[in-house]
Amino acid sequence: MGGIAARALSSPLLALAMIMLLAAALNLINIEAVGDANTYYTAAVEAMLQSPSNFFFVAAEPGGSVTIDKPPLGLWLQAISAFFLGVNGFAVVLPQILAGIFSVPLLYILVKRWFGSRAGLIAALVMAIMPVSIAVQRNNTMDATLIFTLLLAAYAFIRATETGKLKWLLIGGVLVGLGFNIKMLQAFLPLPAFYALYFLSASVGWRRKILHLALTTFVLLAVSLSWIIVVDLIPTDQRPYVGSSQSNSALELAVGYNGLQRLLGGLGRGGSNAQPFTPGTTTDGQPATPGTDANGQSITPPAGMTPPAGFAGGPPNGIAGGGMFGGEIGSAGVLRLFTQPLDNEIGWLLPFGLLSIGLLVLAGRPRLPLSREHQAVVLWGGWLVTQVIFFSMAGFFHAYYLAMLTPPLAALVGIGLMRIWGIHQQRKWLGIILLISTVGASLVYQMTIAAGYTDTLPWLLIPAGILIIGAIMLVAARELPRYSRLAVAGFVCGLIALTSVPAVWAGASTLSSDANAMLPHAYEGNSARSERMSGSAQAGAFNRPDGMPGAFGGGGVNTELIEYLQANTQGMRWMMAVGSSNEGASYVLETGRGVLYMGGFSGQDPVVDAESLQALVDSGELRYILSGGRRGPGMSSSDISTWLESSCAVVTDVSLGSATAFGGSTLYDCGG
């Protein structure tokens, strides 16, 4: 094995091709597990292909009632893919898979430029096997597309640093602006590192640097805000409601829901006065009684459903509380990324990456313009540390966001390993000690992570044995020439030992159907997703039978309900109205019809009120409203509830059964 890897490292293009094939395999094997991917986004793709307006505004459903809670660029790519391949899971995931695969050679080019092909190959390998990245690339969340865009931006800022030319800075600003139009402020996380690289390393006068960066900022903001400005300038009665905003503003969406609320938490209540939801409490913060919702009302699950032990607080009155996903991301603090439940996402090589920053800092005394080693500290180290700090303290995010750490981490692992190899060439014993100790400590930590998720541990002896063999080779080669085959083979054994465990975990993530769920995540071993998302997170989804919609719109549909609605709503804009996308997305995918999301994504948005619903009924655009189940404030607001009771008739001709989670759903006919 060591000989094959050594020959591959000596033939960079062959090795890179092998790594890309590995990345492709990890992305494409078991692709059927993707299913419809995240149905909230897939339903939006279905809607976007039905009209130019829906496409531009990224409407969440064909009727165009509300937009997706993200900017358009990533979803535009998915819609283009679906235009040619049809609306299905593979089509909407394909742009992310391609972005993930081609991020591998792109990172290789970036690292090779300053540190040689071997460092680039190691970085490319780590990029290809990081478990959280594999999970993200196999889903239609847009993070993989954003990462590829930011790597292109990194190339532009590197070229600007090398040449001092403004055009490269402006290209970098445009690319970051495009990234903003994929996932908003998340794209700005590496920006301090990009700016600092140019400011501290370019051979340009200080005044010119300041001027250049000011112009770049102007271009960056212009590109970033272009779609937002157009949307907010269009009268609200001529476009969909901006999803996950409380004032129908795309700018508020960027700064609030997708900005400050990510850092501060409080996403579950929506709006500027949002407060974080505490598991096991009601909406007023009082202790909840097991078996009640966030408003203290009794919850009776439908037949065949079993609520999780100790169920208290939370849905059905909204599934996206600020503390709703505490079981997914753990508590804020310096150890958050190094302990459960996030360590299996990105933690495998994180300590080694941070150690690599220290090795580069000690490479020499910093002087301006910075040396290559210190430029790497600013670019890759700054990118990584900024994100580590953010995700360690952020009030709300999803575990799969940690894929953003993969590019700088992979670069630092490659650069750090080759830095140790360079030390070995100068001082063999020091290099041997550094390699064995750092890789050995990393391997022990990786074993600790794996032991927290699975009882199947004997296979971990294989990388440990490989490391021991590598150590013996390095010690035996200490009197041989600097680049002896034995020494190279020993170094390669260290590389294999360092990357084997995350590579196996990446393969397990590929083969796991659960890892390709609505919220993608790395393989979780023997522990189920519901066990990981404990407390109120479990409250977000009962153990449900087939045919039930899951959290975030997953699950099946009620065919009897569809047949009834199709027979009675021909020519209408909306087949029905529901509380949120969680009830409606699967019906959009099944029928291609409009389903009005009265509360937006999770029931938090004031998309419609009783007066506007009456106007839609009077105009013949809407007749049926499904009330109950996973309704949020958008459904339980007093004016809508009162209007339903006074103006609409309960439909008894169709059996809802378990059509919506938690039962108690009622179909109203408001235009009969």
- DSSP code string of 344-388: HHHTTSHHHHHHHHHHHHTTS---SSPPHHHHHIIIIIHHHHHHH
pLDDT at 533: 42
pLDDT at 325: 52
534 band by pLDDT with thresholds 50, 70 and 90? very low
pLDDT at 604: 85
Q: How many CB atoms lie within 10 A of CB 14?
A: 12
Among the ranges 263-272, 383-392, 648-657, which has the highest mean pLDDT value? 383-392
Could you check whether the bond before residue 301 is cis, i.e. omega within 30 degrees of 0?
no
pLDDT at 657: 66
**Residues 346 and 402 sit within 8 Å (Cβ to Cβ):** yes
Q: Residues 52-60: contacts with CB within 8 Å, 24+ apart?
A: 53/239, 55/79, 57/231, 57/239, 57/240, 59/240, 60/240, 60/243, 60/581, 60/585, 60/597, 60/600, 60/601
Structure tokens at 664: 């108690």
Report the distance separating Cα 8 and Cα 16, nearest Å.
8
Phi/psi-derived region of residue 313, left when phi > 0, alpha when psi is between -120 and 50, beta in every other case: left
As a whole number, the mean pLDDT across the chain is 85
Report, as an integer, the average pLDDT of 536-543. 34
Phi, psi of 216 (to 5 degrees): -65, -40
> For the chain, how many residues are written?
672
Report, as an integer, the average pLDDT of 26-40. 94
**Residues 319 and 267 sit within 8 Å (Cβ to Cβ):** no
Report, as an integer, the average pLDDT of 340-365. 94
Q: For the segment 72-86, what is each residue's pLDDT rounded down to a tens digit?
A: 999 999 999 999 999
Structure tokens at 445: 């930590």
Report, as an integer, the average pLDDT of 159-187. 97
pLDDT at 10: 58
Report, as an integer, the average pLDDT of 31-42. 94
Q: For the segment 604-663, what is each residue's pLDDT rounded down to a tens digit?
A: 899 999 999 999 999 999 999 998 754 443 444 668 888 999 999 999 988 886 544 435
Amino acid 425 reads Q
Q: Please report, rounded to a whole number, the percentage of residues in the chain having pLDDT higher than 90.
A: 70
pLDDT of 295 higher than 60: no
Phi/psi-derived region of residue 270, left when phi > 0, alpha when psi is between -120 and 50, beta in every other case: left
Amino acid 341 reads P
Q: For the segment 480-490, what is each residue's pLDDT rounded down to a tens digit?
A: 766 688 999 99
Q: What count of Cα atoms within 13 Å lies in the side-chain half-sphere of residue 495?
A: 31
β-partners of residue 287 are 281
- Closest by Cα among 499, 304, 508 to 417: 499
Q: For the segment 330-347, what is each residue's pLDDT rounded down to a tens digit?
A: 999 999 999 999 999 999
Report the distance separating Cα 113 and Cα 435, nearest Å.
24
β-partners of residue 59 are 67
pLDDT of 273 higher than 60: no
pLDDT at 321: 35
pLDDT at 458: 87
Q: For the segment 114-146, what is each residue's pLDDT rounded down to a tens digit?
A: 999 999 999 999 999 999 999 999 999 999 999
Phi, psi of 94 (to 5 degrees): -55, -45
Q: For the segment 204-236, what is each residue's pLDDT rounded down to a tens digit?
A: 999 999 999 999 999 999 999 999 999 999 999
DSSP code, position 277: P
pLDDT of 551 higher than 90: no
Report the distance separating Cα 272 and Cα 282, nearest Å.
20
pLDDT at 187: 96
pLDDT at 639: 86
pLDDT at 632: 43
Structure tokens at 165: 């030319």
- What is the spatial order of strands in the sheet that 594-597 belongs to? 594-597, 574-578, 624-627, 666-669, 649-650
**Residues 626 and 583 sit within 8 Å (Cβ to Cβ):** yes
